[in-house]
Amino acid sequence: MKKMVLLTGLLTAHLTLFAEHRLAPADSNIVLKHYFASYTKKMNLIDTKLDLSFNWDSAFVYGKATLQLKPYFYATDSLVLNANSFKINKVTLLNGKSTDLKYSYDGSLLKIALDKIYSKNQVFNVYIEYTAMPYKAKLKNESIVATHGVYFTNHDPSNKDLPKQIWSQGETEGNSFWFPTINGPQTKMTQQITLTVDKQYTTLSNGLMISSKENANGTRTDVWKQDKPSSTYLTMIAVGDFKVVKDKWRNKEVSYYVNPKLEPFVKENFGQTPQMIDFFSKILKTDYPWDKYSQVVAYGYLGGAMENTSATLHGVEVMALNHDKNSLLQAESVVAHELFHQWFGDLVTCESWPNIPLNESFATYGAYLWLAHNHGREAADYDLLKGLSNYYNNPHFTDLTPIRFSLNDPDEMFDPVSYPKGGAILHMLRNYVGDEAFFESLHRYLEQNKFKTAEIHNLRLAFEEVTGEDLNWFFNQWFLQPGHPVLNVDYKYDETAKKLKVSIKQNQDLSKYPLYRLPIVLDIYTSGKIEQRSIELTNQSQSFVVNFPQKPDLVNINPDHLFVAKISDNKTPEQWVELFKRSALMNDKLTAIKNLSELKDNAMAQQFMLAQLNEKDWMVRSFVISALNKNSVNLIHDNLYKRLTEMAKTDEVGINKIIALVRINQLFPEQNNKALFTELANDKDEQVKTVAANLLKSLN
Ligand SMILES: [Zn+2]
């Protein structure tokens, strides 16, 4: 899943990009949270056959389900299924004939008494007739991904204008709102889904459509079959007035299901999918594993996008509909994220929700790999650094372990720790073991665990098998403990001895966070070149002496890694400017600008930042404009106001116009901004329009 960064979130992300990271005070009021274990496997759910029809007025799903099962290990005479907000009409055992089974149902669990004790080798089939009433269920969370499980887009009176669609959202435990099943990622099954709909509608589900026939009553019945096992939360359906745009990768169908009015945007948003499938298949040395790959665009979906097996669902808000470079890059990142899930999440699935980084950190890093391949490292870094700022800016996340068993609710796992921080951890792992070992290890992990589930230890073991090296230290400090290194770095050069001394201290609170073992690269800048030296930090406080023939212009630690750390060092303002100018890496530029923006009353720093607002690269402009704050503007006041006004009106990307508007409002409240806000409240970019209109309202 890719949770959508709504405009407000996006703004916060940008505007607080450089906010100081603070550790939360020690909390004496410790609450014991629920230990969220992997669900015990009592039954193997081998196959599910569903026969579904729909009532649009009541938003009911009429279902007939045939489940093929056998005990996982221990013999049993009972079967417990998740089934939320159903009316159960019939439960029978299909044993040549149809035998009624006794059951009890409390609105969420269907407990069935089998006719006898079954051992682990005895397969049986249970048939259930039911009506699912997803909108009658009590919802635990309406705000993010409300758990109806299946959605009738315009059922809610406030959504009457949305195109009429039905679509499902399984993750985390939504699918039991429309078919009886076993919730959780640990259960994998094959499936066949029969959908009967009014014949003007198109249907989509996982796998391949194996038959489609029109009925005498104006309906049509489509049958979709997926014969490779996949977790129950990855089952999906979509019904609507879709234009189907077809493409292919090798001999497999690649298709896009969109409302007809979105067809002109399909190529720009999804057109690179076959190249992405090819790229991922090659780097993983594991071909795309499913029968086809479809992407459907849904209305009313607030979850961003969801990687249902072979049939990803995107919320329409994720699509770029304005040809804006930033929106297109974000949309491309989401397409790559969901596609990478088809391997990491769908082919190999986290065994339990606490292991969700095995899905989400990989999907985040998959998008990074694609963007780096397609646009170069800068765009990939920009995308990941933007995500990481959400991790740094909220001290709460510092205290969360990526693999985390103390949870109240599995939905808590979908946060910047599982996504960008986890993605950056994978990048550090890649840097440590090298590209060849990294991709070989991923291949091994996929091969060993395909069509099954995995825990973080399976990933470590795959890396250890490939590299021959113990990696407990890496996985323990990064995946199984919270926090990140807080480093203080001091550089000194001894002219007489021709030695560079680098002293590093780990300042994180060691009662809460680990003491890190950190392989570090030093970039040593001299006139004309940048030389690298490797060191490894293992102590809380450590000095490294490097023989170096001349005094460096500047030294920078860990330039090439997207290093999850907070680093402060003793560079002069001139050296920060030098770093910004000479390093090609986004991370270095971002660090330099952040440090310059914190200097009080420094004319050189302020002039430099002002000049960078004319930088031709919109991503760099975006970081610079985000960094501006009261400290960094007093000596360039008039010229900055002029430049920000220009940017608000004419910057080529909407997000920069928006940040410029917000900065003007924050830093120049004494100016008469009414005319500017009024003008931009009529901008052609919808998001700019909304922000300008809100600012205008705040003036009145
Ligand atoms: Zn995801």
Residue 57 Cα to ligand 1 middle (Å): 32
Using the predicted structure, report yes or no on whether residue 326 has a pLDDT greater than 60: yes
Residue 412 Cα to ligand 1 middle (Å): 14
For residues 576 and 700, state if they share a domain. yes
For residues 588 and 611, state if they share a domain. yes
For residues 554 and 576, state if they share a domain. no
Q: List, for residues 417-439, the tens digit of each pLDDT value.
A: 999 999 999 999 999 999 999 99
Strand order in the sheet with 518-526: 529-537, 518-526, 554-557
The token pair that represents 68 in the structure block:
């093929």
Q: List, for residues 105-129, the tens digit of each pLDDT value.
A: 999 999 999 999 999 999 999 999 9
Residue 17 Cα to ligand 1 middle (Å): 23
CATH at 545: 2.60.40.1840
Residue 107 Cα to ligand 1 middle (Å): 30
Q: What is the pLDDT of residue 548?
A: 95
Residue 363 Cα to ligand 1 middle (Å): 6
Residue 385 Cα to ligand 1 middle (Å): 17
User: What is the interface pTM, i.e. ipTM, of the complex?
Assistant: 1.00
Given 570, 592, 627, the domain boundary residue is: 570
Given 570, 598, 613, the domain boundary residue is: 570
Per-residue exposure over 270-308, b if at least 16 CB sit within 10 Å of its own CB, e if not: bebbbebbebbbebbebebbbbbbbbbbbbbbbbbbbbb
Q: List, for residues 14-39, the tens digit of each pLDDT value.
A: 333 333 333 334 444 555 667 888 99
Q: If DSSP codes are grouped into helix, strand and coil, which group holds residue 574?
A: helix
Q: List, for residues 521-574, the tens digit of each pLDDT value.
A: 999 999 989 999 999 999 999 999 999 999 999 999 976 667 899 999 989 999
CATH at 658: 1.25.10.10
Q: What is the pLDDT of residue 659?
A: 97
H-run or E-run covering 524: strand 518-526
Q: List, for residues 88-110, the tens digit of each pLDDT value.
A: 999 999 989 999 999 999 999 99
Q: What is the pLDDT of residue 219?
A: 98
**Overall number of domains in the chain:** 2
Residue 53 Cα to ligand 1 middle (Å): 29
Q: Does residue 171 lie in a domain region?
A: no
Q: List, for residues 436-472, the tens digit of each pLDDT value.
A: 999 999 999 999 999 999 999 999 999 999 999 999 9
**With 0-12 CB in 10 A as exposed, 13-18 as middle and 19+ as buried, what is 616?**
exposed
Using the predicted structure, report yes or no on whether residue 6 has a pLDDT greater than 60: no
Q: What is the pLDDT of residue 15?
A: 36
Q: If DSSP codes are grouped into helix, strand and coil, which group holds residue 375?
A: helix
Residue 170 Cα distances to 155, 183, 443, 530, angstroms: 19, 9, 27, 50
In order, the DSSP letters of 23-88 are PPPP-S---PPPB-PPPP--EEEEEEEEEEEEETTTTEEEEEEEEEEEESSS-EEEEEEE--SEEE
Q: List, for residues 617-629, the tens digit of each pLDDT value.
A: 999 999 999 999 9
Mean pLDDT of the chain: 93
Q: Does residue 499 lie in a domain region?
A: yes
Residue 302 Cα to ligand 1 middle (Å): 14
Q: If DSSP codes are grouped into helix, strand and coil, which group holds residue 647?
A: helix
For residues 617 and 679, state if they share a domain. yes
Q: Does residue 686 lie in a domain region?
A: yes
14 Cβ contact partners less than 8 Å away, ≥ 6 residues apart: 386, 389, 622, 626, 655, 659
Given 554, 570, 586, the domain boundary residue is: 570
Residue 2 Cα to ligand 1 middle (Å): 4
Per DSSP bridges, beta strands 188-198 and 219-231 are antiparallel
Residue 419 Cα to ligand 1 middle (Å): 8
For residues 509 and 618, state if they share a domain. no
Residue 336 Cα to ligand 1 middle (Å): 10
For residues 552 and 582, state if they share a domain. no
Q: List, for residues 351-378, the tens digit of each pLDDT value.
A: 999 999 999 999 999 999 999 999 999 9
Confidence of residue 302 (pLDDT cuts 50, 70, 90): confident
Residue 492 Cα to ligand 1 middle (Å): 44
Q: What is the pLDDT of residue 17?
A: 32
> By the 8 A CB rule, do 647 and 631 touch?
no
Residue ranges making up the domain that contains 541: 484-570
Residue 171 Cα to ligand 1 middle (Å): 10
Q: CA 684 to CA 657: how far, in whole Å?
A: 12
